[in-house]
Amino acid sequence: MANLASRPLDQGDMFPEIKVHRLGGGSLLLPEFLAKDYGVILILRGQW
């Protein structure tokens, strides 16, 4: 798994592999999840 805090992505960099937990349960693996179709991933950072 990539260290996301290491540095921002530059043009031409590969997107790091990230496992994202879904609110409704389960998880998805990026960028594999978006390999076949277009999509939008919205990540909200915060506390409720």
Q: What residue spans define the domains of the chain?
A: 1-48
User: Count H helices, E strands: the chain?
Assistant: 0, 2
- Per-residue pLDDT of 6-39, as tens digits, reads 678 788 888 888 898 888 899 989 888 888 778 7
Distance CA 16, CA 9 (A): 9
**19 phi/psi in degrees, rounded to 5:** -100, 120
pTM for the complete prediction?
0.49
